[in-house]
Amino acid sequence: MCDIQSDVSRRHFLVNTGKLSAGILAAGVLSSCQRQAGMAWAPGRRAVGANERINLGVVGVRSRGWALAEGFMNMPNVHIQALCDVDGNVLQRRLGEAQERQGVRPDGYTDIRKMLEDKSIDAVVLGTPNHWHALQTIWACQAGKHVYVEKPVCHNVWEGRQMVQAARRYNVLVQAGFQNRSFINVRRAMQFLQEGGIGRVYMARGLCYKRRDWIGQVKDGVGTGPDYEYYMFNRRGENYSAEYMAKVDYDMWTGPAKLLPFSYNRFHYNWHWNWNYGGGDIANQGPHQFDIARWGLGKVEHPVEISSSGGLYGPPSDQETPNVQTANIKYADGALLVFEVRGLPTNREEGISVGNLFYGTEGWMSLNGSTWKTYLGHNNEPGPGSEGDQEADPMDVAGAGSGGHQGNFIAAIRSGKHSDLTCDIEDGYMSSALPLLANVSYRTGRTLTFDGRREQFVGDRQANALLKRVGRGEYRIPSRV
């Protein structure tokens, strides 16, 4: 077990990542624990040969989880053994669609614990809401299953650390869904930064300028949602009538979160805008750009100071999270990470709505998707970039826009090597923690000092209370995994 915070120096980090450069198309990004110990964790399940079938169980298949399932179904010798969703309306539809795709109907479950009893399942794919990620990952690790878990990997900092400990204790592979880690051009951009291409990188910016429409106000209760024409997120026009909700296990959907009365605006997708389940766009789209920012800065440790402000601007709404938010994050060496969320009409910066900017002592870089450009010296002379580079990843056999991330997960299962993962749970947790820390600052309304080794704020009981939630009843997250 590694210490809570890595003491790896920047130089040691660059040495390790430098070893990856020669094999950038195939090599994985080492986790913080591996960088300290130079070791690979032996998975609890045996390696699976290239010609053997890998059986997957996919949980949460209404939206993102189904997109992942479709990608995995495109891969040779990968089979969807089971689908699990607490919404029976969604589950039955997806079971039929999966049968059409792969010729065999998967087993269907509403309770992941029942699915985990199937010993033929090699790995679990989690596309559930944020508040379920930690407990489902821990349960899967305890059952000896490998895990692919979407970002952010956790709903709060404490449960994220529990996930890392579970992966280590049960010796399974846990891949975090930060697919930029597997994009060829993004990896090349990070290599350029880590090799000093723009000098010492002193600031990284993350941009999330993503228009989000007003969700309105609705009364609690079944069948009380707004008219579909005013509601952008429920794309199928479901009104969650009594008939619909009779097929939903709402208590299990709530899981470790506080049990609240049903609301149209706290259910499918709109849970993102309620603190009980989500964290706003800074913890929705934001984790991807936070991850790239941390990667480009070469940080394997937590920051020391966090300040975040913003607000919810527009007509009255059931939304709790801000639609405009800025976070200023400082590391011990003075490096800065600045993040902006703008959910209202706004301009782009350097042509970027969602992406990253890096500033160094000898130049700067823009990273927009997998396209990167650099400008060097006082005259901003164009430097190296991705123009003309091959963007297709030979491992992206899923064709799901994952940049080969899903293919990387399958390849790691086949090799049985923890070091083959491009985003191990440790890195996924460290990047997920950044927007979560920013949200604590926003909610308390003050600048906070963070002790990364203890993973606690210094002298602030109110802020520390927002770092942990143990869950409820049968959905409690274990203190000892």
Question: Which pTM does this prediction carry?
Answer: 0.89
Interval 212-226 mean pLDDT: 83
Given this model, what pLDDT does residue 8 score? 32
Given this model, what pLDDT does residue 25 score? 38
- Please give the residue that has the higher pLDDT: either 12 or 302: 302
CATH topology of 23-182+403-429 equal to that of 185-212+279-389+430-460? Answer: no
1 has a pLDDT exceeding 50: no
The band of 26, judged by pLDDT with boundaries at 50, 70 and 90, is: very low
**Mean pLDDT over each residue of the chain, to the nearest integer:** 89
CA angle in degrees (0–180, nearest 5) for 362-339-147: 105
140 has a pLDDT exceeding 70: yes
Interval 417-422 mean pLDDT: 93
Residue pair 94/83 in contact (Cβ under 8 Å)? The answer is yes
* % of the chain residues with pLDDT over 70: 84
Given this model, what pLDDT does residue 394 score? 52
Given this model, what pLDDT does residue 28 score? 36
Interval 416-444 mean pLDDT: 97
Given this model, what pLDDT does residue 41 score? 37
Going from N- to C-terminal start, the domains of the chain cover: 23-182+403-429, 185-212+279-389+430-460, 228-273
Measuring CA to CA, how many Å separate 173 from each of 1, 54, 153, 386, 474? 15, 14, 14, 31, 25
141 has a pLDDT exceeding 50: yes
pLDDT tens digits for range 27-55: 333 334 433 333 333 446 667 877 799 99
Residue pair 475/256 in contact (Cβ under 8 Å)? The answer is yes
Given this model, what pLDDT does residue 281 score? 98
The band of 393, judged by pLDDT with boundaries at 50, 70 and 90, is: low
Given this model, what pLDDT does residue 73 score? 96
| Rounded Cα–Cα distance for residues 381 and 397 (Å) | 37
- Please give the residue that has the higher pLDDT: either 340 or 229: 340
The band of 197, judged by pLDDT with boundaries at 50, 70 and 90, is: very high
- Provide the token pair at 261: 């009365």
The band of 241, judged by pLDDT with boundaries at 50, 70 and 90, is: confident
CATH class (in words) of the domain with range 185-212+279-389+430-460: alpha beta
* % of the chain residues with pLDDT over 90: 79
Residue pair 407/131 in contact (Cβ under 8 Å)? The answer is no
pLDDT tens digits for range 355-374: 999 999 999 999 999 899 99
- Provide the token pair at 29: 């990004």
Q: Which CATH architecture group holds 23-182+403-429?
A: 3-Layer(aba) Sandwich (3.40)
Interval 454-473 mean pLDDT: 98
Look at the block and give the residue holding tokens 């009104």: 239
Interval 102-115 mean pLDDT: 98
Residue 177 has a CB neighbour count (10 Å cut-off) of 25
According to DSSP, the β-strands at 371-376 and 363-368 are: antiparallel
- Provide the token pair at 397: 């056999």
Q: Is 110 exposed, middle or buried (0-12, 13-18, 19+ CB in 10 A)?
A: middle
Preceding omega of 152 cis (within 30 degrees of 0): yes
Look at the block and give the residue holding tokens 């559930």: 128
The band of 226, judged by pLDDT with boundaries at 50, 70 and 90, is: low
Measuring CA to CA, how many Å separate 366 from each of 203, 300, 343, 384? 12, 22, 21, 11
